Amino acid sequence: MWPIGPLMHEHRLIERMIALMDREIRNMTAGAPPDHVFLDSAVDFIRTYADQCHHGKEEDILFRDLALKPIGHDLAAIMDQLIEEHRVGRRLVQSLVEAKKRHLEGIPEAGKDIVEMLHKLIEFYPKHIFKEDKQFFFPCMDAFTESEKESMLSEMWNSIG
């Protein structure tokens, strides 16, 4: 199972942030102004934890090592999709940052843009996580020996310290 255990646990934390984003959408839809402190925290969480820490471990360690293995066309295609999805996630977060900035500048439609970007993020992440959890992580682990898995896990732990 290793090193996918920590990656899957990280997914559960990301899902918790997605639930908070959904709550912000409900608040804004009910008439509340955007919570700029929450938006800053959400962006920081996604950029730092989900992207740099979590996706960083996937791209810099797991995908790197997996690219050296004969994994077959289907699994390689999923890996390529995941890499592109990471880029999509980054673009969505940047669009949220820009919408928040426009809102702070007093542009009226920016509130709708914030809601739209939050919607896109809460639609994006569960699908991405499902693909990793159910279609990718377990099959790709068959490509590694136990020693290789332990080596990746050690590198993942060292990358966060």
pLDDT in tens, 43-55: 999 999 998 888 8
Mean pLDDT, the chain, integer: 91
Of the two residues 78 and 10, the one the predictor is more confident about is 78
Alpha carbon separation from 124 to 16, 78, 131 (Å, rounded): 14, 16, 11
| Nearest alpha-carbon partner for 42 in 70, 68, 14, 6 | 14
Domain of 56, in residue numbers: 4-159
Other CB atoms within a 10 A radius of the CB of residue 86 amount to: 18
156 confidence band (pLDDT: 50, 70, 90): confident
pLDDT for res 153: 85
154 confidence band (pLDDT: 50, 70, 90): confident
Token pair 């693909």 is found at 131
Give me the helices (H) in the chain, please.
4-29, 36-44, 56-57, 64-66, 73-104, 110-130, 137-141, 146-159
Q: How many domains does the chain have?
A: 1
Task: Indicate which CATH number applies to the domain containing 38.
Answer: 1.20.120.520
Give me the helices (H) in 45-72, please.
56-57, 64-66
pLDDT (tens digit per residue) in 12-57: 899 999 999 999 999 999 999 999 999 999 999 999 999 888 888 8
69 confidence band (pLDDT: 50, 70, 90): very high
The tokens of 12 are what? Answer: 């559960």
